[in-house]
Amino acid sequence: MISKITDIFKEKGKNIISVPPDTTVLDAIKLMSEKDIGSILVMTGDQLEGIMTERDYTRSVILKGLSSKDTPVKDVMSTKLTYISPETTVTESMAIMAKKRYRHLPVFEDKKLVGIVSIGNLAERLIKDQQITINELNEYIAGHWDK
């Protein structure tokens, strides 16, 4: 079974949680905590400007001694983003994340942001796919294969 990002969206939905670029880092971190997410998209209207992650927060705010109350997310967000499509496979997405050391990937379809996936989403899907394969092999071995 080769799962794609669309398969993940069928289970988790396509919730897009974002903030405008002038939002303070503190407000963005509060929203991330409230939603239990490790990154937040930074958008102006429908236009993706960047992403702020927990890693961006620790490296660009805490380590530089900036104030979370006074610093806008546009000053600390990552802007060099890699995108995937809903048709990208989970394996391809994992390879991109491993190579680039990302934990989140925005998903675009026809130049429009349609969602985001995390490394956790991909890992969950890979585990589910492996379990399906194991079950199918067990059925085949037991002689209950009816496909």
Tens-place pLDDT, residues 17-62: 999 999 999 999 999 999 999 999 999 999 999 999 998 888 888 8
Q: What CATH number matches the domain at 5-141, 3.10.580.10, 3.30.450.40, 3.30.465.10, 1.10.3730.10?
A: 3.10.580.10
Residue 121 CA to residue 38 CA, distance in Å, equals 12
What digits encode the pLDDT tens for the residues 115-145? 999 999 999 988 888 887 777 777 778 876 5
CB 77 within 8 A of CB 42: yes
C-alpha to C-alpha distances, 18 to 32, 35, 37, 106, 112, nearest whole angstrom: 10, 11, 11, 12, 15
Q: What is the CA radius of gyration of the chain?
A: 18
- Is 147's pLDDT higher than 70? no
Residue 146 pLDDT:
58
- Predicted confidence (pLDDT) per residue in 65-94, tens digit: 888 999 999 999 999 999 999 999 999 999
- On whether the CB atoms of residues 52 and 25 are closer than 8 A, the answer is yes
User: Could you tell me which residue, 116 or 146, shows the higher pLDDT?
Assistant: 116
Cα 123 to Cα 49: distance, rounded to the nearest angstrom:
27
pLDDT for 117 equals 94
The crossing angle, in degrees rounded to 10, of helices 119-141 and 90-100 is 140
Q: Does residue 14 carry a pLDDT above 90?
A: no
